[in-house]
Amino acid sequence: MLSIWERNHFIHYNHIIVGSGIVGLCTAYYLKMQNPSQSVLVVERGLLPSGASTKNAGFACMGSLSELLADLQTATEEEVLELFLLRKGGLERLQSILGVQEMGYKSNGSFELFFQDDINDLARLSYVNQLLFPHLHQNAFSICNEKIAAFGFEKNTVTGLVRNHCEGEIDTGMMMKNLIAKVLQMGVEIKTGCKVLSFEDTGHEVEVVCKNPIAEQPLIFKTDSFFICNNAFAHPLLPQEDIAPGRGQVLITKPIANLPFKGIFHFDKGYYYFREYNGCVLLGGGRNLDFETETTTDFMLNQKIQDDLMVKLQKIILPRQPFEIDVRWTGIMAFGKSKKPIVKHYSKNVFVGVRMGGMGVAIGSEVAYQLSSIHKNTL
């Protein structure tokens, strides 16, 4: 039951966005940039962003060498280039929204570890450089095996090291906190703990049904346009779309004295990733060990994968270095048969930007820009 004041001032908005991650917040930013006087509400199911935007590893990356080569096994050169440029453009767009300092951006480099079983990928390095050169105006990759020992990796296991000259790292928490502050300053409203149960596009407006934590009956918001930007959590709202959740396992050590490396690192076609953060080693991945279990929106730890991450730390990354684990966590991403995100005009007043494929940091702001442009073109 609503009061007259609530009905008149708290229920109707020009735009409602579900999901307060990178895509949702950047969509709010662009909608406000287009029409500063219009009201924008972002609703979030959790008290904090619930997917991967505050739980990722903070990689500003466009794809490792082995990942790009793997993509070329199932997609055309044009499709792989399109996705690469989407990531590149998204990172540039995110910097234009916030600024380098506000993202905690650092150019400490990106590297990929190669093992004996995948060393043949190095033979195709020049081919990938030639493919990307017209868009980067420099070689993306170079071999730097001399750094294997300097970084302290297990030299009998790590047989090759490739540097990516076009990538860097961000402070995920700093980036998200500043992005939230940015849109709040613009007049965007954010309601957390507000789970969207369903929606109906009536033709002249959209009714958005949300769970009310203090009443049995749901709360129904009304909006001129509705944007679904909650990635893996969009499937109940869009059951016919190809959206499957994918959980990512992460851990971070306590500070390690004289850690010999900085920057971000990948191996095994991007399925594993690690970095230095404040003297600690953050390591995540291993979803490919247990795809079935990790296809979930449950934030529980997977002991099999967590144990594997520990082995990778002990035997490859820190082979002669004692360490302690500080924190373990998970994040929920969204995947589909295609690596391309879903960005489309769904119905008359509903717009969809989901399925980031684990690339939300890189492509989220570009997806938001495309989504706001699609909306603008419908007016």
What's the confidence (pLDDT) of residue 267?
A: 96
Q: Is the pLDDT of residue 329 over 90?
A: yes
> What confidence category does residue 119 fall into, taking pLDDT thresholds of 50, 70 and 90?
confident
- Single pTM value for the model: 0.96
Q: What is the average pLDDT value for the chain, to the nearest integer?
A: 96
Q: Is the pLDDT of residue 5 over 90?
A: yes
Mean pLDDT along residues 196-205:
97
| Domain limits for position 202 | 4-54+174-242+338-378
Q: Give φ, ψ of 51 to 5 degrees.
A: -100, -100
| Sequence-separated (6 or more) residues with CB below 8 Å from residue 258 | none
Answer yes or no: is 61 within a domain. Answer: no
b/e map 306-344, b = 16+ CB within 10 Å: bebbeebbeebbbeebebebeeeebbbbbbbeebebbbe
Whether the Cβ atoms of residue 20 and residue 52 lie closer than 8 Å to each other: no
What's the confidence (pLDDT) of residue 49?
A: 85
- Assess whether 83 and 134 both reside in one domain: yes
- Assess whether 124 and 199 both reside in one domain: no
Question: 82: which 2 tokens?
Answer: 């399109």
Mean pLDDT along residues 94-118:
93
**Whole-number Å distance between alpha carbons of 70 and 73:** 5
Whether the Cβ atoms of residue 352 and residue 238 lie closer than 8 Å to each other: yes
Whether the Cβ atoms of residue 326 and residue 277 lie closer than 8 Å to each other: no
Answer yes or no: is 59 within a domain. Answer: no
Question: 338: which 2 tokens?
Answer: 């295609």
The helix (H) or strand (E) run that includes residue 347 is: strand 342-347
The pLDDT tens digits for 66-97 are 999 999 999 999 999 999 999 999 999 999 99
**Whole-number Å distance between alpha carbons of 25 and 270:** 26
Answer yes or no: is 116 within a domain. Answer: yes
Among residues 335, 352, 370, which one ends one of the domains?
A: 335
Q: Give φ, ψ of 225 to 5 degrees.
A: -145, 140
CATH number at residue 81: 3.30.9.10
Q: Is the pLDDT of residue 215 over 90?
A: no
Answer yes or no: is 372 within a domain. Answer: yes
Q: Is the pLDDT of residue 48 over 90?
A: no
CA-CA-CA-CA torsion sign (212, 218, 224, 227) = positive
- Assess whether 78 and 224 both reside in one domain: no
- Assess whether 164 and 264 both reside in one domain: yes
Whether the Cβ atoms of residue 353 and residue 28 lie closer than 8 Å to each other: no
Secondary structure class of 369 (helix, strand, coil): helix
What's the confidence (pLDDT) of residue 231?
A: 96
What's the confidence (pLDDT) of residue 109?
A: 80
Share of the chain above pLDDT 90, in %: 94
- Assess whether 283 and 330 both reside in one domain: yes
Q: Is the pLDDT of residue 227 over 90?
A: yes
What's the confidence (pLDDT) of residue 50?
A: 79
Short-list 9, 370, 320, CA closest to 189: 9
Question: 135: which 2 tokens?
Answer: 């868009």
How many domains in the chain? 2
Answer yes or no: is 192 within a domain. Answer: yes
Q: Is the pLDDT of residue 214 over 90?
A: no
The pLDDT tens digits for 230-271 are 999 999 999 999 999 999 999 999 999 999 999 999 999 999
- Assess whether 254 and 297 both reside in one domain: yes
What's the confidence (pLDDT) of residue 118?
A: 87
Mean pLDDT along residues 371-377:
97
Mean pLDDT along residues 130-142:
96
- Assess whether 236 and 343 both reside in one domain: yes
